[in-house]
Chains A and B, each alone.
Chain A
Amino acid sequence: MAAPCVSCCGALCYRLFIGSRVTLAPRQGFWKTAAAEFQRGAGSQLLKPIHTTVVTTKKNVPVSRHETYTEEFIKKQIEEFNIGKRHLANMMGEDPETFTQEDIDRAIAYLLPSGLFEKRARPIMKHPEQIFPKQRAIQWGEDGRPFHFLFYTGKQSYYALMHEVYGKVLQVEKHQNQLQVKGVLPEKTEIRDLIGSRWLIKEELEEMLVEKLSDQDYTQFIRLLEKLLALQCGPAEEEFVQRFRRRVPTQSQQQLREPVQYDERGVAFSACEGKRKSARAEAVVYEQGSGRITVNGIDYLLYFPVLQDREQLMFPFHFLDRLGKHDVTCTVSGGGRSSQAGAIRLAMARALCSFVSEKEVEWMRQETTKLLSHRSLEPCWWADQPATAAWLWSRKNWDPNSDVQERADWTQADGCGGMGGHENVCCPQRHGVSPPEHRGGVVSATAPHCIRAHVLLISIRLSHSSSQRVFITTTDCPSTQVMGCLHIPVETDSKH
């Protein structure tokens, strides 16, 4: 496992974490103690520490996720992390004492920029506790006696938690009874912000307790917490409960309402923009009107002769039941017929929000996913470049003795290029415009500005042609273009 390691002050090299855990086993073969697994139901058998090596017989097989790490190992990692943090702060010219995790992330992103789309595959440097899964320390001492009093229940942390929560419930009830006896009515506490948060899910709870739970356990726990909340508990209990709630990202409050403007005649109108694919539209919706729509100065019946486009325009009004009540003037550019219609629709929907009450806006957003938001096509991230016609080699036409520049054994095939681009990952990596002389290799290098250049290597043959051409194509462009062409004079038979 790569870890942030420290070297002397001069040369700093960081071995950085990669998201998936890679085995160190073939190199280090370290020992693990089987603390996490113990036999259930077999009585009180003492478990001897089992020493095993994690040696995988197959290559390139990731180590199973249940690998355990010793405490000393984790401690060592933490020390190394802290020292590494200080060195990093030094490098960046900041104060090591006040170097936070965000600063670390920024520094790493700056020093080791990566063009990878998968965020989890990028270099990260985080506290070992966040990287290594939580392990259970050894639960019993040298004499074999377990530390926790609930060890023999099997799920000690869970039951301890339940015990704690129930204790709190009893406490609160007792407190309330006392207050009632005294005659003091408990004050009504204001509604807590339960809307923006949710309970922990089962997996998160398991992670927190480092124990496996069953579904019934989980539901019982949540019920108990809800019971606690239902009784009006004090601030201390609230804080306790909040530990088990997580924030929910609230998207619904994000819709902005465009303010209504008034033009020179005093007529209320609202202007908004919308887009779809590459079409951009701006719509001005007037409050009083008779349902006329003008697009780029042309009546919408003439601009959109196709029924489908007009149905798109109808949708926002139809949804809010305001079909003949507004006049609209819009301008649109770019895209095709259908995307222009979609862009205008979005713009009109947004503009209509300002004439419509809050509740209706909410309802609009909930009923339709697309009415008020912009969606566009996700770019193809799984393939290096969009589909191109690959070159096919056929033995039938192959003449090993011929040295002709244009060889008959290489042909450009049409079939492979049709698919969305994911096939290129499997295809042999031949990119370029002319058939390669030899089966070349492709080298990809990441440049700081995330433009990857695939340089086609051509091994140079002695016998013919005074210069070889090297093609450079960019892969981040929508179409593979030949960016440039270097002429390399042939000198030796070496690979460049």
Chain B
Amino acid sequence: MLVLGSRSTRTMLKEITRLVSMVQKAKHGEQHEGQHYRVPLQDVKTVFPHGLPPRFVKQVKTFGEACLMVRKPALELLHYLKNTNFAHPAVRYLLYGEKGTGKTLSLCHVIHFCAKQDWLIVHIPDAHLWVKNCPDLLQSTYNRQRFDQPLEASTWLKNFKTTNERFLSQIKVQEKYLWNKRESIEKGSPLGEVVEQGIARVKNATDAVGIVLKELRRQSSLGLFHLLVAVDGVNALWGRTTLRKEEKSPVAPEELALIHNLRKMMKNDWHGGAIVSTLSQTGSLFKPRNAYLPQELLGKEGFDALDPFVPILVSNYNPKEFESCIQYYLENSWLQHEKAHTEAGKKELLFLSSANPGQLERLCAYL
């Protein structure tokens, strides 16, 4: 039965199924698999200004707290990251799996871990947003062949600034960049200025992004900081776009400056960090619904570009994780149906959602 009792009993129940937060996060291990841990809301604002899936954001707002489940793929990835050798070129990790299995949230888990370890996070929440539905395409001043996307670039720069505030003053630009005849960035000025310029002058935002990425790549090799490049929906970089030029011919991804710069970032010719990415069919263009393997979603070009990488499969809940998830919902009084806590009800939910986290979440929303 749902315990609608005092606050203390509720918190007590929470303790049983959950592992409480920050300090112990570095020590997430095998025994914590299936348990939830709470991310402080402050962290959510700084680390994830744009990273969480929209449904999860709503859930955070409803429950008043952000709880992520510790799962095997994330644990595996954390293990690899803990043992990275920063002298070697950046290793690419690819999270793949069926729709709704929890790839994006695993990525967020990893990002949070790295943020707590003081890494610099370059997080592109959804690369698909950069290849579709952009009404404004400007021809790039830097390279006549390419196109700028001012809005997307400036939004991203704002979020980047929120996440990595403290690094922006520390990192210095190592080259002189000319915006136009009158404005320029001198060598040695902090990166924050570049970002400010990109946010203030929307026209130069794309170029600012390019500069930021280039500098970070260069400087992480110097060992000043650890760089984590996290891209969600990396298959957008090598797919097709729905954008068209003025003469109605389609735009190839390479012709977009943002994509071009991001592709350079994904190359493992730098060291001092790691690249973690996710495949996503949900926002992808021109891909069949049941495609989830890297070969299918990336295509030949993308696969060759990303090769070699470490694939990590994210699958549906196992029984323990499923039980834990149901318990979490019950404790937060999310499941109001009288049969939800019974064994029979749980079996029904298991069958109907087939242990898929996304489906389960949608199903429980009705109960």
Which of A's residues lie within 8 Å of B, judged by CB?
291, 298-302, 307, 310-311, 314, 317-318, 321, 323-324
- For B350, the chain A residues whose CB sits under 8 A away are 291, 323-324
- For A324, the chain B residues whose CB sits under 8 A away are 347, 350-351
- For A317, the chain B residues whose CB sits under 8 A away are 351
Tell me the residues in window 324-367 of chain B with beta carbons closer than 8 Å to chain A beta carbons. Answer: 344, 347-348, 350-354, 356, 359, 363
Residue among A299, A301, A310 with max Cβ neighbours from chain B (10 Å): A301
Q: Quick check: B348 and A300 within 8 Å, CB to CB?
A: no
Q: Quick check: B347 and A307 within 8 Å, CB to CB?
A: no
- For residue B98, CB closer than 8 A to chain A, the reply is yes
Cβ-closest chain B residue relative to A324: B347
Q: Could you name 26 residue pairs across A and B whose Cβ atoms are closer than 8 Å?
A: A298-B290, A299-B354, A300-B354, A301-B353, A301-B354, A301-B356, A301-B359, A302-B98, A302-B290, A307-B352, A307-B363, A310-B351, A310-B352, A314-B348, A314-B351, A314-B352, A317-B351, A321-B344, A323-B344, A323-B347, A323-B348, A323-B350, A323-B351, A324-B347, A324-B350, A324-B351
Tell me the residues in window 20-72 of chain B with beta carbons closer than 8 Å to chain A beta carbons. Answer: none
Which of A298, A301, A302, A318 is within 8 Å of B348, CB to CB?
A318
- For B359, the chain A residues whose CB sits under 8 A away are 301
Cβ-closest chain A residue relative to B359: A301
Q: What is the bound-complex CA distance between A291 and B350, given in angstroms?
A: 9
- For B347, the chain A residues whose CB sits under 8 A away are 323-324
- For A321, the chain B residues whose CB sits under 8 A away are 344
Q: Quick check: B351 and A291 within 8 Å, CB to CB?
A: yes
- For A291, the chain B residues whose CB sits under 8 A away are 350-351
Q: What is the bound-complex CA distance between A318 and B363, given in angstroms?
A: 17
Which of B98, B290, B352 is within 8 Å of A311, CB to CB?
B352
Q: What is the bound-complex CA distance between A310 and B352, given in angstroms?
A: 6
Cβ-closest chain B residue relative to A291: B351
Mostly, the A contact residues are: helix
The total of Cβ contacts below 8 Å across the A-B interface reads 32
Cβ-closest chain B residue relative to A290: B319
Known: A307-B352, A323-B348. 8 other contacts (CB 8 A): A291-B350, A299-B354, A300-B354, A301-B353, A301-B356, A311-B352, A318-B351, A323-B350
- For B353, the chain A residues whose CB sits under 8 A away are 301
**Closest CB-CB distance, A431 to chain B, in whole Å?**
44
- For B352, the chain A residues whose CB sits under 8 A away are 307, 310-311, 314
Which of B's residues lie within 8 Å of A, judged by CB?
98, 290, 344, 347-348, 350-354, 356, 359, 363
- For B344, the chain A residues whose CB sits under 8 A away are 321, 323
Q: What is the bound-complex CA distance between A307 and B359, given in angstroms?
A: 9
**Closest CB-CB distance, B67 to chain A, in whole Å?**
25
Mostly, the B contact residues are: helix
- For B354, the chain A residues whose CB sits under 8 A away are 299-301, 310
**Closest CB-CB distance, B151 to chain A, in whole Å?**
33
**Closest CB-CB distance, A94 to chain B, in whole Å?**
62
Q: What is the bound-complex CA distance between A318 and B98, given in angstroms?
A: 26
Cβ-closest chain A residue relative to B98: A302
**Closest CB-CB distance, B121 to chain A, in whole Å?**
33
Q: What is the bound-complex CA distance between A324 and B350, given in angstroms?
A: 9
- For B98, the chain A residues whose CB sits under 8 A away are 302
**Closest CB-CB distance, B127 to chain A, in whole Å?**
24
Cβ-closest chain A residue relative to B290: A302
**Closest CB-CB distance, A293 to chain B, in whole Å?**
8
Q: What is the bound-complex CA distance between A371 and B260, given in angstroms?
A: 58
Q: What is the bound-complex CA distance between A310 and B256, given in angstroms?
A: 42
Residue among B351, B352, B359 with max Cβ neighbours from chain A (10 Å): B351
Cβ-closest chain A residue relative to B354: A301
Cβ-closest chain B residue relative to A318: B348
Q: What is the bound-complex CA distance between A314 and B354, given in angstroms?
A: 11
Q: What is the bound-complex CA distance between A317 and B359, given in angstroms?
A: 20
- For A307, the chain B residues whose CB sits under 8 A away are 352, 363
**Closest CB-CB distance, A402 to chain B, in whole Å?**
50
Cβ-closest chain A residue relative to B292: A302
Q: What is the bound-complex CA distance between A311 and B354, given in angstroms?
A: 12
**Closest CB-CB distance, A297 to chain B, in whole Å?**
11
**Closest CB-CB distance, A141 to chain B, in whole Å?**
78
Q: What is the bound-complex CA distance between A310 and B355, given in angstroms?
A: 13
- For B351, the chain A residues whose CB sits under 8 A away are 291, 310, 314, 317-318, 323-324
Q: What is the bound-complex CA distance between A233 and B201, given in angstroms?
A: 108
**Closest CB-CB distance, B340 to chain A, in whole Å?**
15
Name the 10 nearest CB pairs between A and B, nearest first.
A301-B354, A323-B347, A314-B351, A310-B352, A302-B290, A323-B351, A324-B347, A301-B356, A291-B351, A314-B352
- For A314, the chain B residues whose CB sits under 8 A away are 348, 351-352
Q: What is the bound-complex CA distance between A318 and B339, given in angstroms?
A: 14
Cβ-closest chain A residue relative to B352: A310
- For B290, the chain A residues whose CB sits under 8 A away are 298, 302
- For B348, the chain A residues whose CB sits under 8 A away are 314, 318, 323
Q: What is the bound-complex CA distance between A270 and B98, given in angstroms?
A: 30
Q: What is the bound-complex CA distance between A317 and B353, given in angstroms?
A: 15
Q: What is the bound-complex CA distance between A318 and B351, given in angstroms?
A: 10
- For B363, the chain A residues whose CB sits under 8 A away are 307
Residue among B347, B359, B363 with max Cβ neighbours from chain A (10 Å): B347
Q: What is the bound-complex CA distance between A318 and B347, given in angstroms?
A: 9
Q: What is the bound-complex CA distance between A302 and B101, given in angstroms?
A: 12
**Closest CB-CB distance, A307 to chain B, in whole Å?**
7
**Closest CB-CB distance, A348 to chain B, in whole Å?**
12
**Closest CB-CB distance, B142 to chain A, in whole Å?**
44
Q: What is the bound-complex CA distance between A271 and B354, given in angstroms?
A: 23
Q: What is the bound-complex CA distance between A314 and B347, given in angstroms?
A: 10
Q: What is the bound-complex CA distance between A302 and B354, given in angstroms?
A: 10
**Closest CB-CB distance, A479 to chain B, in whole Å?**
33
Cβ-closest chain A residue relative to B356: A301
**Closest CB-CB distance, B232 to chain A, in whole Å?**
22
**Closest CB-CB distance, A352 to chain B, in whole Å?**
15
**Closest CB-CB distance, A349 to chain B, in whole Å?**
15
Cβ-closest chain B residue relative to A325: B347
Cβ-closest chain B residue relative to A299: B354
**Closest CB-CB distance, B346 to chain A, in whole Å?**
10
**Closest CB-CB distance, A406 to chain B, in whole Å?**
42
- For A323, the chain B residues whose CB sits under 8 A away are 344, 347-348, 350-351
Q: What is the bound-complex CA distance between A324 and B290, given in angstroms?
A: 25
Q: What is the bound-complex CA distance between A323 and B351, given in angstroms?
A: 7
Cβ-closest chain B residue relative to A304: B354
Q: What is the bound-complex CA distance between A314 and B98, given in angstroms?
A: 22
**Closest CB-CB distance, A312 to chain B, in whole Å?**
11
Cβ-closest chain A residue relative to B316: A301
Q: What is the bound-complex CA distance between A238 and B2, given in angstroms?
A: 64
Q: What is the bound-complex CA distance between A69 and B47, given in angstroms?
A: 100
**Closest CB-CB distance, A286 to chain B, in whole Å?**
16
Q: What is the bound-complex CA distance between A291 and B348, given in angstroms?
A: 11
- For A299, the chain B residues whose CB sits under 8 A away are 354
Q: What is the bound-complex CA distance between A307 and B351, given in angstroms?
A: 11
**Closest CB-CB distance, A144 to chain B, in whole Å?**
79
Cβ-closest chain A residue relative to B362: A307
**Closest CB-CB distance, A344 to chain B, in whole Å?**
14
**Closest CB-CB distance, A263 to chain B, in whole Å?**
24
Cβ-closest chain A residue relative to B99: A302
Cβ-closest chain B residue relative to A313: B351
Q: What is the bound-complex CA distance between A324 and B348, given in angstroms?
A: 9
Q: What is the bound-complex CA distance between A307 and B352, given in angstroms?
A: 7
